[in-house]
C-alpha cells in the first residue's frame, strides 16, 4: 500500500499511526529495515522507535504543517506524552523507494506566547504557490550572511521590516527586536554560532533549514522554518536544542 502513496502522505500516515495511534506495526509497513535514526532521543533503528513508543503510553502528536521537497518530508507539530511537558518542533524524514529510510528531529519544550502574542505553532499552514527554488536561494543567502557570518544587519536587508512575524518564545515581532535579542546574547557570551546548513526543505513560501552550531560552546541543532513573501523573509518558527557530540550519541549514525 505504501508504494502508491506520495512521500508526503506516506510520512504523514506513518507518523500518525506510530506516534498517535501508537501502532508499532507501522514500522514494518512504512519503514525500511535498514532505517537510520539521527534523533538524540532514540537509541537506534526500528528497535529504538518501538521501544520509545511502547515506553510512552500517553504519546500523541498533533501535526501543524507537513512539507515535501523531493525525498524529504518535514512535519512541524506538537508531542504530548513524550516528556513531562509538551514538546514542539520538527521531524524530518527521508523516503526511498516507498519506505522511510532516515529521520532527524528537533524538539523543545512548549512555551507561553511571546511578547507579540504568537505561539510556536500558530500562523499560516499552507505553503502557497511561491517559487520554492527562488525562495530557497534567498533564505540560503540571508542565512549565510546573517547567521553564519554573524552580520545581523542582514535582517534589515532580507526581512520584512517591522512586519517580520516572530514565533520564537523569547522575541517579539520586527527586525529591531530580533537584532537586539541576538546582539544581547552575543554581548553576554551566549551568542548563537552557526557552522553550516546540513539540509533544507522548500515548498511554496516555506523553507526549513536544518543546521548545526553552538551556544556558549555547547553543540546545538537548529531547525528554523522561514516563510518568504514577495521576496522578503516574512515569518520564522524555530526549535533550537542542545545535542550531544556524535561519539556521545545513543547510536552510531551521528546527529546530523
Average pLDDT value for residue range 67-93? 97
pLDDT higher than 80, residue 15: yes
Closest CA to 125 of 69, 200, 204: 204
Q: Tell me: pLDDT of 41 over 90.
A: no
Of 79, 98, 103, residue with least CA distance to 16? 79
Report the C-alpha gap between 94 and 34 in whole angstroms.
13
- 1 — pLDDT class (breaks 50, 70, 90): very low
pLDDT score for 40: 86
- With cut-offs at 50, 70 and 90, classify the pLDDT of residue 210: very high
Residue 188 has a CB neighbour count (10 Å cut-off) of: 9
Do the Cβ atoms of 224 and 211 come closer than 8 Å?
yes
Q: Lowest mean pLDDT: which of 26-35, 106-115, 199-208, 243-252?
A: 243-252
pLDDT in tens, 139-176: 999 999 999 999 999 999 999 999 999 999 999 999 99
**Rg (the chain; Cα; Å):** 18
Which cell numbers in the block locate residue 128? Answer: 502557497
Contacts of 199 (CB under 8 A, 6+ apart): 72, 92, 210
Statement: residue 71 has pLDDT above 50: yes
**Average pLDDT of 134-141?**
98
Cα separations (Å) of 55 from 50, 149, 249? 9, 42, 20
According to DSSP H, which parts of 93-169 are helical? Answer: 132-143, 154-158
Count of Cβ atoms closer than 10 Å to residue 248 Cβ: 10
Q: What is the mean pLDDT of residues 39-51?
A: 90
Where would I find the H helices in the chain? 7-19, 26-30, 45-54, 132-143, 154-158, 175-187
Question: What confidence score (pLDDT) does residue 107 get?
Answer: 97
Output the pLDDT for position 4.
Answer: 77
Amino acid at each position: 500500500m505504501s508504494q502508491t502513496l506520495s512521500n508526503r502522505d506516506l510520512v504523514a500516515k506513518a507518523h500518525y499511526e506510530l506516534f498517535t495511534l501508537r501502532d508499532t506495526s507501522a514500522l514494518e509497513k512504512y519503514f525500511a529495515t535498514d532505517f537510520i535514526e539521527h534523533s538524540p532521543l532514540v537509541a537506534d533503528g526500528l528497535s529504538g522507535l518501538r521501544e520509545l513508543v511502547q515506553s510512552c503510553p500517553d504519546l500523541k502528536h498533533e501535526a501543524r504543517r507537513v512539507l515535501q521537497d523531493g525525498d524529504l518530508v518535514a512535519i512541524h507539530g506538537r508531542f504530548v506524552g513524550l516528556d513531562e511537558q509538551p514538546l514542539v518542533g520538527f521531524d524530518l524524514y527521508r523516503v526511498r523507494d516507498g519506505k522511510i529510510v532516515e529521520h532527524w528531529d528537533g524538539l523543545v519544550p512548549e512555551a507561553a506566547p511571546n511578547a507579540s502574542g504568537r505561539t510556536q505553532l500558530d500562523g499560516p499552514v499552507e505553503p502557497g504557490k511561491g517559487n520554492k527554488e527562488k525562495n530557497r536561494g534567498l533564505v540560503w543567502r540571508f542565512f549565510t550572511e546573517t547567521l553564519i557570518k554573524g552580520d545581523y544587519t542582514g535582517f534589515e536587508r532580507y526581512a520584512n521590516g517591522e512586519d517580520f512575524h516572530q514565533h520564537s518564545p523569547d522575541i517579539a515581532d520586527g527586525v529591531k527586536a530580533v537584532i537586539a535579542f541576538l546582539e544581547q546574547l552575543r554581548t553576554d557570551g551566549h551568542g548563537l554560532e552557526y557552522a553550516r546548513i546540513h539540509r533544507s526543505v522548500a515548498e511554496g513560501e516555506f523553507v526549513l533549514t536544518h543546521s548545526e552550531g553552538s551556544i556558549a560552546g555547547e553543540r546545538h541543532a537548529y531547525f528554523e522554518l522561514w516563510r518568504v513573501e514577495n521576496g522578503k523573509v516574512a515569518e520564522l518558527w524555530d526549535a533550537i536544542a542542545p545535542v550531544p557530540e556524535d561519539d556521545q550519541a545513543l547510536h552510531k549514525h551521528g546527529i546530523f
